[in-house]
C-alpha cells in the first residue's frame, strides 16, 4: 500500500487512471408539448446527466441524491487502505450508468492455472442500485473473467454520511473478501471433480437452452451453431485444465468472454449483461450438482 501519498492524491490518481474524473448532475425534467396547457410543467422526476459529455444516464425521483465518482473513490480508497489494499483499476459501463473500482487480492492457483483476483465496488448513476460489492477473477492463461455480485452484502445508500460510508465500506469489503475465499474453495472443488456427462447436459440446458437429447431436425440452426461454439470452447479448456468440472466451467466463461460478443463489449457483457447471467447460471448449476452428489462442503451461490 502506498503510504507517502495523501488520500486526496490517491483519489485523484484513481479517478484519472480509471477515466472516472467526471461528475453528474440531476436536472429537473419539464414537459414539452405543442399544447400550451401541457408545456413547461415541472415533473416529479429529474434526469441524471454527465457534466463532461452531457450524456443522459437515467431518470430518478426528485429526492434521489447523486453519489459522485470522487465520493466513491474516496470511500473505497480509504476502506481499502485501512486493510492494506490498493485500488488498482476501474472504469464505467453503459456510458457511465454503472461505474466500478477494484482492489486486488493475492493471486490464487486453481487446477493448472493462476487466477487474478479482485474485489469490485459498483455504483450506478441511473438509480438502479446502491453501492454493491462482488468478486472478479480472471484465469491468466486464457483471460476468462468471471464476475459474481454479492447481493446478500448490505448496501449503503448515497445519503449516508461520509464517516458512516467508510465504516460500512470497510465492513462490506471484509465480507466480500471472505466470500471470495469461499469462491476460491469452490473452484478448487470443481478442479478435483471429474467431468460428468450429466453435468454437461445440465449446464448446456440451463445456460443455453440446449437439449442434447433433442433430434437434430427439431433444433434451430442458430442453436446448433451456438452448440458448436460452446463445444469448441469447452474442448479448448479441457486441453488446458483437464476433463474436470473446472474445465467445463472455464469452457462456459471462455465462450462468454471470447466468442459470444465483441472485444469492445466484453467487459459490460460479462460484468452486467447476458454473459454475466450465463456465467452465474453455469457456476450455480455445477455447484448444486456437487453439493447433491459429493461429500464436499460448498457454498451454493445466492
DSSP bridge partners of 227: none
**Torsion on CA atoms 180, 184, 189, 195, rounded to nearest 10:** 110
Compute the mean pLDDT over every residue in the chain, rounded to the nearest whole number.
91
pLDDT digits (tens, 9 = 90+) for 168-191: 899 999 999 999 999 999 999 999
Q: Transcribe 230-271 into DSSP letters.
A: HHHHHHHHHHHH-SBHHHHHHHHHHHHHHTSS-TTTHHHHHH
Output the nine-digit C-alpha cell for 26: 440531476
Q: How confident is the model at residue 157 (pLDDT cuts 50, 70, 90)?
A: low
Question: What's the pLDDT score for residue 233?
Answer: 96
Gap between the Cα atoms of 258 and 260, Å rounded:
6
CB 18 within 8 A of CB 91: yes
Output the nine-digit C-alpha cell for 74: 474516496
Q: How confident is the model at residue 166 (pLDDT cuts 50, 70, 90)?
A: confident
Q: How confident is the model at residue 197 (pLDDT cuts 50, 70, 90)?
A: very high
Identify the three-state secondary structure at position 11. helix
pLDDT digits (tens, 9 = 90+) for 72-122: 999 999 999 999 999 999 999 999 999 999 999 999 999 999 999 999 999
pLDDT digits (tens, 9 = 90+) for 215-270: 666 667 888 888 899 999 999 999 999 999 999 999 999 999 999 999 899 999 99
Please state, in angstroms and as integers, the Cα–Cα distance from residue 245 to each residue in 16, 209, 238, following that order: 40, 19, 9
* Cβ-Cβ contacts under 8 Å for 11 (sequence gap 6 or more): 70, 73, 74, 77
Gap between the Cα atoms of 136 and 120, Å rounded:
7
In angstroms and rounded to an integer, the radius of gyration of the C-alpha atoms of the chain is: 22
0.85 exceeded by pTM = yes
Segment 61-69 shows an average pLDDT of: 90
* Cβ-Cβ contacts under 8 Å for 35 (sequence gap 6 or more): none
pLDDT digits (tens, 9 = 90+) for 267-301: 999 999 999 999 999 999 999 999 999 765 445 44
Output the nine-digit C-alpha cell for 300: 451454493
Amino acid at each position: 500500500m502506498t503510504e507517502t501519498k495523501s488520500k486526496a492524491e490517491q483519489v485523484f490518481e484513481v479517478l484519472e487512471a480509471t477515466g472516472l474524473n467526471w461528475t453528474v448532475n440531476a436536472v429537473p425534467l419539464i414537459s414539452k408539448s405543442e399544447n400550451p396547457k401541457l408545456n413547461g410543467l415541472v415533473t416529479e422526476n429529474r434526469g441524471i446527466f454527465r457534466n463532461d459529455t452531457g450524456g443522459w444516464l437515467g431518470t430518478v425521483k426528485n429526492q434521489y441524491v447523486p453519489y459522485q465518482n470522487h465520493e466513491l473513490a474516496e470511500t473505497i480508497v480509504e476502506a481499502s487502505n485501512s486493510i492494506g489494499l490498493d485500488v488498482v483499476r476501474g472504469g464505467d459501463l453503459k456510458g457511465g450508468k454503472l461505474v466500478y473500482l477494484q482492489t486486488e487480492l493475492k493471486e490464487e492457483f486453481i487446477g493448472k492455472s493462476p487466477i487474478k483476483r479482485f474485489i469490485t465496488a459498483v455504483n450506478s448513476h441511473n438509480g438502479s442500485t446502491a453501492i454493491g460489492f462482488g468478486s472478479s477473477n480472471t484465469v491468466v492463461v486464457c483471460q476468462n473473467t468471471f464476475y459474481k455480485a454479492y447481493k446478500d452484502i448490505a448496501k449503503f445508500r448515497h445519503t449516508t454520511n461520509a464517516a458512516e460510508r467508510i465504516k460500512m465500506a470497510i465492513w462490506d469489503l471484509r465480507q466480500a473478501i471472505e466470500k471470495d475465499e469461499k469462491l476460491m474453495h469452490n473452484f478448487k472443488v470443481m478442479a478435483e471433480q471429474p467431468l460428468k456427462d450429466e453435468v454437461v447436459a445440465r449446464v448446456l440446458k440451463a445456460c443455453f437452452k440446449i437439449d442434447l437429447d433433442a433430434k437434430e431436425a427439431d433444433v434451430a440452426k442458430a442453436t446448433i451453431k451456438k452448440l458448436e461454439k460452446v463445444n469448441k470452447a469447452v474442448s479448448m479448456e479441457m486441453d488446458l485444465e483437464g476433463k474436470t468440472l473446472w474445465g467445463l466451467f472455464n469452457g462456459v466463461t471462455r465462450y462468454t468472454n471470447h466468442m459470444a460478443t465483441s472485444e469492445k463489449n466484453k467487459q459490460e457483457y460479462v460484468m452486467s449483461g447476458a454473459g454475466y447471467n450465463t456465467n452465474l447460471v453455469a457456476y450455480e448449476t455445477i455447484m448444486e450438482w456437487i453439493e447433491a452428489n459429493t461429500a464436499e462442503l460448498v457454498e451454493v451461490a445466492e
